């Protein structure tokens, strides 16, 4: 405890800066998670299991597209945070404006392609004709709002890069409330509204995304603040586009191959019995909730490391990365202990089935062991991305996934017959190697030599 007190005392100012940025980001992600749970409950209760299944398939495609193509925002955040540190606000606004313009183009292209190839995309799933029809119906409406979604994510990344995580949290909260109210009205036909079923859920989501974008536009284009974009800032120029592309494409490749690896792991797990597969899905949900604070800390690390480099303060940038990663590690230890103490209670939140709970218990202990590694990795990766070292993070991540994690998962589940625990055997080994390598990379300070020329 005395060491912890000394750590807090020595890093009080830096800790305050990190937590000030991280807490709203954590709040924003928590709100999105709650929205997902609310959506699931409302669709399940008011429409039925087939609609819930259809929405799950459609959202799997939508989120894959989001993860891949919103990677351009990683480059924007790194460039904006550095311009923020340099106090070069004209350059900051220029980067922000061009990032918005590029996301408009991405949104238009993805919307057109999604409409044209929707049937081909859904044909990869082995689903009933009824679920197929419901999924397409939902997907077509969601796609209409895709451009608003990409732009909202871009605007949020711009604000975070400039150190403002409060506005995205507030906007997300308002949009989510609108979405939940809209769900109830449009799904059930409340008051003057027609009963639209699954289409109502899709329209509610799309409308909430339009409203969120309007709020972002008001902040970035209308109000005087750290960021104020003018129309002239949206003209795409080579001196901004080139570094933005160089910083962003590694993230897009990383996310694309990461999503493929998750699909392959899902296929491996599907070779087990139905209860084991259900347990796997529940455990993934629990694990995804557990590292939200680390994602918030990674956003803070990215913003503050980039800002410190813009200030030409390498020592501050380095201390920020180490301090944020230490917080991630401490959170991982804490939440890991919770998994050890309350495994049955946590799994029981998601299912009453005793067989599934019993299958999950051993895996929960391994998930607990993995938490410090997972949370440390997320934050340290964020620090490197904020420094513009996105290429190294991509290479390290892909080696972890494709050379270690996926082969080990196959080995433990298919060859050695270890059940779903095999996923986390592979995960622990791969994360341990990843943490060592990424720590060595950060300690080398080669990321301080990366130039972002504009």
Token pair recorded at residue 180: 């939940």
Q: Give me the torsion for CA of 54, 60, 63, 67, rounded to 10°.
A: -170
Q: What is the pLDDT of residue 1?
A: 56
Helix (H, G, I), strand (E, B) or coil at 342: coil
Question: Does residue 69 carry a pLDDT above 90?
Answer: no
Q: What is the pLDDT of residue 37?
A: 67
Spatial CA neighbour of 39 closest among 25, 24, 59: 59
Which residue's structure tokens are 């995205």? 168
Q: What is the pLDDT of residue 4?
A: 63
Question: Does residue 201 carry a pLDDT above 70?
Answer: yes
d(CA 322, CA 313): 15
More confident: 19 or 453: 19
Q: What is the mean pLDDT of residues 149-163?
A: 89
Evaluate whether 197 touches 47 at the Cβ level (below 8 Å).
yes
What percent of the chain lies above the pLDDT cut of 70? 96
Domain borders along the chain are 14-236, 238-454
Q: What is the pLDDT of residue 7?
A: 64
d(CA 177, CA 162): 26
d(CA 107, CA 144): 10
Mean pLDDT of the chain: 87
CA distances from 162 to 136, 158, 226, 310 (A): 39, 6, 7, 12
Region of poorest pLDDT, from 234-248, 295-309, 368-382: 234-248
Q: What is the pLDDT of residue 12?
A: 77
Q: How far from the centroid of its chain's Cα atoms is residue 298's Cα?
A: 11
Token pair recorded at residue 269: 């797990």
Evaluate whether 183 touches 204 at the Cβ level (below 8 Å).
yes
Signed CA dihedral, 198, 201, 207, 210: sign only: negative
Q: What is the mean pLDDT of residues 62-81?
A: 82
| Confidence band for 39, pLDDT divided at 50, 70 and 90 | confident
Q: What is the mean pLDDT of residues 83-91?
A: 89
Q: What is the mean pLDDT of residues 409-426?
A: 92
Q: What is the pLDDT of residue 238?
A: 87
Q: What is the pLDDT of residue 241?
A: 87
Q: What is the pLDDT of residue 440?
A: 96
Question: Does residue 10 carry a pLDDT above 70?
Answer: no
d(CA 436, CA 268): 27
Q: What is the pLDDT of residue 324?
A: 94
| Confidence band for 419, pLDDT divided at 50, 70 and 90 | confident
Q: What is the pLDDT of residue 453?
A: 64
In the DSSP assignment, the letter for residue 404 is I
| Confidence band for 131, pLDDT divided at 50, 70 and 90 | confident
pLDDT tens sequence across 334-382: 999 999 999 888 888 777 778 888 888 888 999 999 999 999 999 999 9
pLDDT tens sequence across 40-57: 677 777 777 777 777 777
DSSP letter for each residue of 262-297: HHHHHHHHTTS-HHHHHHHHHHHHHHHHHTHHHHHH
């Amino acid at each position: 405890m005395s060491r912890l007190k000394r750590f807090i005392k020595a890093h009080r100012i830096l800790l305050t800066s990190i937590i000030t940025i991280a807490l709203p980001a954590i709040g924003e992600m928590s709100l999105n998670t709650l929205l997902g749970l609310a959506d699931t409950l409302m669709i399940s209760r008011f429409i039925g299991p087939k609609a819930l299944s259809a929405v799950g398939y459609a959202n799997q495609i939508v989120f894959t597209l989001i993860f891949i193509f919103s990677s351009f925002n990683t480059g924007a955040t790194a460039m904006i945070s550095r311009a923020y540190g340099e106090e070069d606000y004209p350059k900051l606004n220029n980067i922000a404006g061009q990032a918005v313009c590029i996301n408009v183009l991405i949104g238009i292209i993805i919307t057109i392609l999604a409409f044209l190839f929707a049937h081909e995309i859904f044909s990869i799933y082995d689903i009933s004709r009824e679920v197929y029809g419901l999924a397409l119906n939902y997907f077509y409406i969601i796609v209409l709002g895709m451009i608003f979604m990409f732009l909202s994510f871009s605007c949020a990344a711009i604000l975070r890069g400039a150190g403002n995580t409060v506005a995205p949290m507030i906007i997300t909260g308002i949009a989510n409330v609108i979405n939940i109210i809209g769900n109830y009205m449009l799904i059930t036909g409340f008051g003057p509204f027609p009963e639209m079923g699954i289409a109502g859920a899709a329209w509610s989501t799309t409308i909430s995304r339009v409203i969120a974008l309007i709020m972002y536009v008001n902040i970035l284009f209308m109000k005087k603040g750290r960021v104020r974009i003018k129309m002239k800032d949206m003209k795409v120029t080579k001196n901004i586009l080139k570094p933005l592309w160089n910083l962003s494409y590694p993230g897009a490749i990383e996310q694309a191959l990461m999503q493929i690896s998750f699909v392959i792991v899902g296929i491996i797990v599907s070779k087990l019995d139905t209860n084991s597969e259900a347990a796997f899905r529940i455990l993934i949900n629990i694990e995804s909730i557990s590292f939200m604070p680390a994602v918030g800390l990674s956003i803070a690390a990215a913003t503050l490391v980039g800002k410190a480099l813009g200030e030409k303060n390498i020592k501050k940038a380095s201390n920020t990365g180490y301090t944020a990663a230490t917080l991630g590690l401490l959170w991982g230890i804490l939440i890991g202990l919770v998994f050890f103490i309350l495994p049955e209670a946590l799994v029981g939140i998601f299912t009453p089935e005793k067989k599934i709970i019993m299958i999950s218990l051993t895996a929960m202990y391994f998930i607990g062991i993995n938490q410090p590694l997972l949370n440390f990795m997320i934050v340290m990766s964020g620090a490197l991305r904020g420094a513009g070292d996105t290429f190294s993070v991509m290479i390290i991540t892909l080696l972890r996934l494709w050379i270690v994690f996926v082969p080990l998962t196959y080995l433990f589940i298919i060859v050695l017959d270890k059940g779903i625990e095999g996923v986390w055997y592979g995960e622990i080994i791969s994360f341990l190697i990843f943490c060592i390598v990424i720590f060595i990379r950060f300690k080398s300070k080669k990321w301080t030599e990366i130039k972002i020329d504009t």
